[in-house]
Structure 1
Amino acid sequence: MFYKRFTFRLIFRLLVINLLGYLLFYLIKNTQLWFTIIGVGLIFFGTIISLYYYINEIRSDIKRFILAVKTRDHTLNFKNKTTKGSFPELYESFGDILLVHKQIRLEQEAMFQLIKTILEQVPVGVIVVNTRVTDNENQEIAFFNQAASNLLGVPAYKYWHRLKQHLPAFANEVDQIPNGGKRFLELKIHEKFIQLSTEVIPLNLYGKNYTIISFQNIKDEIEQKETEAWNRLIGVISHEILNSITPISSLSDTINSMVTDKENLDLDEMEDLKTALQTIKRRSAGLLDFVKDYRLIAELPTPNLESHTIGEILKHIKVLMQPFAKVKNVTLGVEQTSSKITVQLDLKLIEQVLINLITNSIYAVEEKETPHITVSYRLENTKLYIDVTDNGNGIDVADLEKIFVPFYTTRKNGSGIGLTISRNIMKMHRGSIEVVSIPYEQTTFSLVFNYV
């Protein structure tokens, strides 16, 4: 091994230096051979200098090697020293390390180019900003793909403040969620409005802070979903109106035929006429109620947001719904009523949502031997969930997509607007309603709030 050769040569040189030093000392002390003394002295100092350069050579090469690794300089090589000198194995190892380091670097660059190519091909806009805490004006954009340029109608800017000057609405929305999250925003690009679903993800890599901004135009998807929703709504409305109009029209024809060309009606005809008119009145009243329900969905009040604790909300619901549940012989458990977690909401509207959900659950567990409903809350990441769980018959998979459609109901005498109103109320709170159902075991409706 190289260190054995180095040790041998180092010991040999030190031994020669010691012998020369002893000889020089002896000659100076005991003889007058000045030419010999000068010659031995020069040899003595020459061996010392040779030892210095011998040791300094490897130190210098190690220093060059370390600098090459730090600066990622792959041009350095020690091929001329791998076949001669005291350290061929060492220099060969240096070369291998530099080669592996170069291969790793090339693999990283190849992977970066692969990821970059993929991101350039996807239809989602991606912008990566190198965040500098001390210099917000000159935050550098590390990546700006073609889809982002096309969606925003701007060139691939190098600095964030340039994009902010061109599209202040977009940049301001992104700046409002520095800790990450999703936003929906509408922009006017080249006289056309686009709807962008935007997500911001902060990231720290090797001590550097990055902000990944991804967005896509969901206008077509929204329009498609709106069309589907309108088709379902029109279908339900048409069904309800036809159910009311058909008997009214039929009875109107009957009444018309009864009174046409007649000046007087007998007692039986009067009774038939009275029954027909009562039926028309009843169906007209039903149609009027249907229209009122529709207006109730369309004209929800704007939420008056105030700070309320979860414990306060759950206490109110327990007081409101416990008597009704007791009458129906349903066990209603409201947990965590002492929670001090605070959220911004309209208490009256959220209470209405919880009343709707608990009422639905009470009817869902009517046929159970031990019916019970649980109301609780949980925190997950940046979301706050208020859960209403029951052990009723559950919801079929086919009905999960329909339960929020206006006037769709699986319950007798149900209006079909409770869940629709509840979802609209949650949307106005920038939240949502989620449902998970295992048929004949358990169903959970969750009110989802953003909690930061």
Structure 2
Amino acid sequence: MFYNRFTFRLISRLVIINLLGYLLFYLITNTQLWFTIIGVSLILLGSIISLYYYINEIRSDINRFILAVKTRDHTLNFKNKATKGSFPELYQSFGEILQVHKQIRLEQEAMFQLIKTILEQVPVGVIVVNNTATAKEEIAFFNQAATNLLAVPAYKYWHRLKQHIPDFGSEVEQIAKGGKKFLELKIQEKLTLLSTEVIPLNLYGKDYTIISFQNIKDEIEQKETEAWNRLIGVISHEILNSITPISSLSDTLNSMVTDKETLNLDEMEDLKTALQTIKRRSTGLLDFVKDYRLIAELPTPSLESHTIGEILKHIKILMQPFARVKKVLLDVEQTSSKITVKLDLKLIEQVLINLITNSIYAVEDRDNPHISVNYRLENTRVYIDVTDNGKGIEPADLEKIFVPFYTTRKNGSGIGLTISRNIMKMHRGSIEVVSVPNDYTTFSLLFNYI
């Protein structure tokens, strides 16, 4: 009702106080009714005190509401005052705000529990360290996978975990500002290889460090076994291809000279031909072994700063004459680029020579054979692209082209791409390939720019 409203109550109290003040002034100046004067004074004082408490009650409610929001206290209730108070709309808004705040809080808590449950189920160890909580760096989260992988209890403080596994703690602190690292640890007399990543995070003014890690020893062993099987298969195939004719010719020669003291002219010619064949295949087998050693004994890169333009300019000078002889248009672009990358110029030139040479042979039977070499910059990576319009690579061959000694080119050794990929790995980069058969093929050398 209107008489419950703040404005009506305030005005009525002010009117009463003014009337009592005027009456008191009149009684003091015009009469000597002291008992009446005292009574009116007490009533006036009571009205002023009542007005103070009335206004203070509203101020107190507002302070309680603000404090409830700050402390996330959802038990405060203004329902009674929303129906009977002086500010029904205000108290109703207070109640709605507190309810919305409570709902948001419940949703956040539910989301936190969901994320926590997910992190408890994943096979990746996750440790979250609160770097600003205390001087001893409190661990805010330690999932079950981390407990299993490190074979430790869920410690509350980082320094205790570091005391238990000092190698893990020191290695993680080396990449505390962010990064990835492979850690080889001996846990419970068992060798474990952990792929570890550290991500620093500032959240609401607090510094956190997120440490995630997983055991990749089994996966690496499986990949190594697969790689060895493929390599042994290729090596066995090449050796058998060389040994079989040598063995067969040896048997033939043995039958030719057995029980004979002299040979006629025709037999001498056959003997020479057979021996030449044995020598040729033996030389081929020796070359094969040399190629294998070349893959396994690449020199360590000597990293120096070079511009992309310098690299492209050198490769243009090196490969342009060969491309011209093969009647291939070699287009090397952006040779004035000033983007700088740390690399071993000789090794990277060898990679580009391998790629461009492969491209030249790939476009031999094409109309208007064309090869382009340029670079592109994407985020923190630099790509040097070698693109040709040759016959391309079939999807089934894309998985095999980096396997040692595998080749689709006649008279190819099958080690160029293997060596090239190993060189790029030694530069902490990689080789990517995209090919559309009978359309184009692009090999990309990927370098980390920062």
In 2 relative to 1, CA 439–19 (structure 1 residues): closer, same or farther, beyond 3 Å?
farther
Structure-2-length-normalised TM-score:
0.92
- For 1:51, the equivalent position in structure 2 comes to 51
Is contact 1:186–1:194 with CA below 8 Å preserved after alignment? yes
**Take 2:82 and 2:172, find their aligned partners in 1: how far apart are those partners?**
57
**Take 2:432 and 2:327, find their aligned partners in 1: how far apart are those partners?**
27
Is contact 2:4–2:86 with CA below 8 Å preserved after alignment? no
- For 1:25, the equivalent position in structure 2 comes to 25
Structure 2's unaligned 5+ residue stretches are none
CA deviations over 1:129-181 (Å, ceiling 9, x no partner): 2234xx99633322111211221233322233333344343334333334433
- For 1:303, the equivalent position in structure 2 comes to 301
1:103-118 residue pairs with structure 2 within 5 A?
A: 103-118=103-118
Is contact 1:2–1:89 with CA below 8 Å preserved after alignment? no
Structure 1's unaligned 5+ residue stretches are none
Is contact 1:2–1:87 with CA below 8 Å preserved after alignment? no
**Take 2:311 and 2:433, find their aligned partners in 1: how far apart are those partners?**
20
Offset at 1:297?
0.8
Offset at 1:89?
4.4
SS at match of 2:321: helix
Structure-1-length-normalised TM-score:
0.92
Question: Which deviates more from structure 2 when the two are superposed, residues 135-144 or residues 239-248?
Answer: 135-144
- For 2:227, the equivalent position in structure 1 comes to 229
Is contact 1:297–1:417 with CA below 8 Å preserved after alignment? yes
**Take 1:151 and 1:3, find their aligned partners in 2: how far apart are those partners?**
71
Is contact 1:233–1:405 with CA below 8 Å preserved after alignment? yes
1:86 aligns with 2:73: no
Question: Which deviates more from structure 2 when the two are superposed, residues 135-144 or residues 236-245?
Answer: 135-144
**Take 1:230 and 1:291, find their aligned partners in 2: how far apart are those partners?**
16
SS at match of 1:209: strand
1:230-269 residue pairs with structure 2 within 5 A?
A: 230-269=228-267
CA deviations over 1:77-116 (Å, ceiling 9, x no partner): 3345345332344334333332332232222222212211
- For 2:333, the equivalent position in structure 1 comes to 335
- For 1:182, the equivalent position in structure 2 comes to 180
1:173 aligns with 2:171: yes
- For 1:283, the equivalent position in structure 2 comes to 281
Is contact 2:5–2:85 with CA below 8 Å preserved after alignment? no
**Take 2:88 and 2:162, find their aligned partners in 1: how far apart are those partners?**
58
**Take 1:359 and 1:181, find their aligned partners in 2: how far apart are those partners?**
37
- For 2:69, the equivalent position in structure 1 comes to 69
- Please, which of 398, 411, 414 is the counterpart of residue 412 of structure 2? 414
**Take 2:160 and 2:364, find their aligned partners in 1: how far apart are those partners?**
63
1:296-375 residue pairs with structure 2 within 5 A?
A: 296-375=294-373
- For 1:98, the equivalent position in structure 2 comes to 98
Question: Which deviates more from structure 2 when the two are superposed, residues 119-128 or residues 383-392?
Answer: 383-392
**Take 1:350 and 1:294, find their aligned partners in 2: how far apart are those partners?**
20
Is contact 1:24–1:40 with CA below 8 Å preserved after alignment? yes
Offset at 1:36?
2.0
SS at match of 2:5: helix
- Please, which of 152, 158, 161 is the counterpart of residue 159 of structure 2? 161
Q: Runs of 4 or more off by more than 4 Å in structure 1?
A: 1-4
**Take 1:317 and 1:122, find their aligned partners in 2: how far apart are those partners?**
48
Tell me which amino acid in the other structure corresponds to 2:107. E
Tell me which amino acid in the other structure corresponds to 1:130. N
SS at match of 1:228: helix
Paired residue total: 450
Question: Which deviates more from structure 2 when the two are superposed, residues 230-239 or residues 85-94?
Answer: 85-94
Is contact 1:2–1:88 with CA below 8 Å preserved after alignment? no
In 2 relative to 1, CA 24–441 (structure 1 residues): closer, same or farther, beyond 3 Å?
farther
**Take 2:178 and 2:94, find their aligned partners in 1: how far apart are those partners?**
45
1:41 aligns with 2:30: no
Offset at 1:191?
2.4
SS at match of 1:430: coil
1:442 aligns with 2:401: no
**Take 2:325 and 2:178, find their aligned partners in 1: how far apart are those partners?**
47
SS at match of 2:241: helix
Offset at 1:41?
2.0
In 2 relative to 1, CA 4–39 (structure 1 residues): closer, same or farther, beyond 3 Å?
closer
- For 1:131, the equivalent position in structure 2 comes to 131
- For 1:10, the equivalent position in structure 2 comes to 10
Question: Which deviates more from structure 2 when the two are superposed, residues 288-297 or residues 328-337?
Answer: 328-337
**Take 1:384 and 1:90, find their aligned partners in 2: how far apart are those partners?**
60
- Please, which of 158, 182, 195 is the counterpart of residue 197 of structure 1? 195
Tell me which amino acid in the other structure corresponds to 2:376. R
SS at match of 1:440: coil
Is contact 1:178–1:202 with CA below 8 Å preserved after alignment? yes
Is contact 1:364–1:392 with CA below 8 Å preserved after alignment? yes
**Take 2:150 and 2:283, find their aligned partners in 1: how far apart are those partners?**
52
* Identity, % of aligned positions: 86
Tell me which amino acid in the other structure corresponds to 1:434. E
In 2 relative to 1, CA 206–137 (structure 1 residues): closer, same or farther, beyond 3 Å?
closer
Is contact 2:126–2:145 with CA below 8 Å preserved after alignment? yes
- For 1:121, the equivalent position in structure 2 comes to 121
Tell me which amino acid in the other structure corresponds to 2:428. R
SS at match of 2:259: coil
